[in-house]
Amino acid sequence: MATAHAPTASEYVSHHLGHLTNVKQTSLVDWSVIHLDTMFYSIALGLLAVFVMARAAKKATSGVPGRFQAAVEILIEMVADQAKGIVHSPESRKFVAPVALTVFIWIFLMNAMDLLPVDMLPTLGALVGINYMRVVPTADLNAALGMSLAVLVMCLYYNVKIKGFGGWMHELFTAPFGNHFLLYPINFAMQIIEFVAKTVSHGMRLFGNMYAGELIFMLIALMGAAWAGTWGSGLLWVGHIFAGTVWAIFHILIITLQAFIFMMLTLVYIGQAHESH
């Protein structure tokens, strides 16, 4: 910060939580606003993911695989096995399994941005005049909900495709409580709640984990920033190193786990769309 006074803790945190936007967002929901930082990092990481995998795919041989090919194959076989166990239609798996793979690697990479020093990219951005930057796309509710919404659309698509529109409508009104005209409204309400709850929780879980993780990294960074030559601030500085190490190591688990959970839920929700009640 080149300004005359150092930012206070709350200024520091709220600055870090500010997105780079095209226009400043004033209301809670504003469809004319777009988060440029989220879009940049998510697209860049998504392209990185698919091109690295495409490189492996291009060189893939049925002979003895190299280490890189073997690593990609391990990932793909893991996803393929999970997909096979959850989605029972081989025709649907042709699209659903690649979706699960993409989701896993993409979200893993986006989560992994959390492990970069929390001030590194924003400070570099500030040098070229970009004053707000969030580098973890999955810590943006829009990104997480955008992906869970995509999964919802796939669920609806497969519901109609597998059961037919009439069949799906029948299910919407007769499951889970039974086929009776008095139960139709209750069934329908339950189904709608189920879809909304699935989608919101799907996105919110990822967003919540990553947002909280990012916030804790910021608080840890504040500890180190408190260094002022006194005893107490010295302890905080040591605390920064200790807590930062512990949290980063723990976060390796969290980012992988959250990516895996998002992928598994994607498969489970789409698998449910294939099953009639």
Partner 1 sequence: MNLNATLFAQFVVFFILAWFTMKFVWPPIMKALDERASKIADGLAAADRAKTDLALAERRATDELRKARESANELRGGAERQGAQILDEARAEANRIIAAARTAAEGEAEVAAQRAREALRDQVALLAVAGAEQILRKEINPAAHADLLNQLKAEL
Verify binding: residue 254, partner 1, rule CB under 8 A: no
Q: Are 101 and 78 in contact (CB under 8 A)?
A: no
Annotated catalytic residue 201 = yes
Q: What is the smallest separation between the CB atom of 2 and partner 1, expressed in angstroms?
A: 28
Q: Which residues pair with 35 in a beta bridge?
A: 21
Residue that has been written with the tokens 């840890």 in this structure:
220
Nearer to partner 1 by Cβ, of 156 and 252: the residue is 156
Element (H, E) at 26: none
Q: What is the smallest separation between the CB atom of 158 and partner 1, expressed in angstroms?
A: 14
Residue 35 φ then ψ, to 5°: -85, 105
Cα–Cα dist 175/177, whole Å:
5
Chosen residue from 56, 155, 259, 265 binding partner 1 by CB under 8 A? 56
42: its two tokens: 């998510």
Verify binding: residue 268, partner 1, rule CB under 8 A: no
Annotated catalytic residue 209 = yes
Q: Are 143 and 42 in contact (CB under 8 A)?
A: yes
Residues in the chain: 277
Pick the catalytic residue from 187, 209, 233, 276: 209
122: its two tokens: 């924003």
Question: Which are the catalytic amino acids?
Answer: 201, 205, 209
User: By the criterion CB under 8 A, which residues form the site for partner 1?
Assistant: 21, 25, 27-35, 38-39, 42-43, 46-47, 49-50, 53-54, 56-58, 60-63, 65, 69, 72-73, 76-77, 80, 94-95, 97-99, 101-103, 106, 137, 140-143, 145-147, 149-150, 153
